[in-house]
């Protein structure tokens, strides 16, 4: 399973993040993480923002296409908001 730069990180105040509810894998074998609370969703969104900021030139280049944008950012944003986008 690919990590896509969304590995473990610490909360801005230095303590560990709360766990998120992980659903079963999809038909494609991709692990889906849906936030179980607003706090968990916020942590997931902060990770998305940090990932984008750290790799901004790549994500804004022509090498990063629309499908990749949806897979790595848009779907994960909706999952952080509590949506199961795989069904």
pLDDT tens-digit profile of 29-45?
556 678 888 999 999 99
Mean pLDDT of 6-16: 39
Q: What is the pLDDT of residues 44-70, one digit of tens each?
A: 999 999 999 999 999 999 999 999 999
How far apart, in Å, do the first and last CA atoms of the chain sit?
A: 20
Residue 22 pairs in a beta bridge with 33
* Number of compact structural domains in the chain: 1
- How far, in Å, CA of 55 to CA of 20, rounded? 24
Q: Within its chain, how far is the Cα of 1 from the centroid? A: 14
- Residue ranges making up the domain that contains 25: 1-87
- Residues 36 and 44 sit within 8 Å (Cβ to Cβ): no
Average pLDDT, the chain: 74
- What is the reported pTM? 0.60
Mean pLDDT of 9-22: 41
Is residue 12 over pLDDT 70? no
């Amino acid at each position: 399973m690919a990590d896509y730069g969304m590995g473990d990180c610490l909360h801005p105040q230095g303590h560990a993040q709360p766990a998120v509810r992980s659903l079963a894998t999809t038909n494609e074998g991709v692990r889906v993480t849906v936030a179980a609370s607003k706090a968990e969703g916020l942590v997931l969104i902060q990770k998305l923002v940090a990932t984008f900021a750290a790799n901004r030139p790549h994500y804004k280049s022509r090498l990063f296409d629309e499908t990749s944008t949806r897979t790595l950012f848009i779907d994960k944003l909706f999952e952080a908001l509590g949506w199961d986008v795989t069904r």
